[in-house]
Amino acid sequence: MKKFVVTLLVGAFAVTVLLGSAQGRPAYPNMIKDYYKDNKAIVEKAGATDKCNLCHDPASKLKKDHNEYGKAVKKHIPKEEFDKLKDPTMKAALEKKLGEALKATEADKHSSGKTFGEVIKAGKLPGEK
């Protein structure tokens, strides 16, 4: 019985530690949908099924693998800067910085030869080829 209780306590502690450290970036899809709220196609495509594919490679199971749009956005909002803004009390500053990064990314080139801004205005997800 003593082993069972110790195992249960260790397991509960491990779950608590793992849950507490599950810190990812905030809900970027919602922020991006808000930024492009006037582009109905992007808002619809960035729904529940495609939301992660805005920036992440749909062929990969790893969160660190980004599509070309995600890589371009990351270039304009690097991890070091994100780390300064990820605190929930800094949400407004993060949204502002993300807006600036999205605007800057629109000028970057998509693999089609067009800019990301042109691709988005055409109603395609920016990570699509």
3-state class (DSSP) for residue 112:
coil
User: Has this prediction a pTM greater than 0.85?
Assistant: no
CA nearest to 117, candidates 26, 22, 35 = 35
Q: How does pLDDT run across 98-128, given as a tens digit for each residue?
A: 999 999 999 999 999 999 999 988 888 887 7
Q: How does pLDDT run across 7-29, given as a tens digit for each residue?
A: 655 555 655 555 544 445 557 77
Backbone torsion region of residue 123, taken as left when φ is above 0, otherwise alpha when ψ lies between -120 and 50, otherwise beta: left
CA nearest to 58, candidates 72, 70, 44, 41 = 70
3-state class (DSSP) for residue 43:
helix
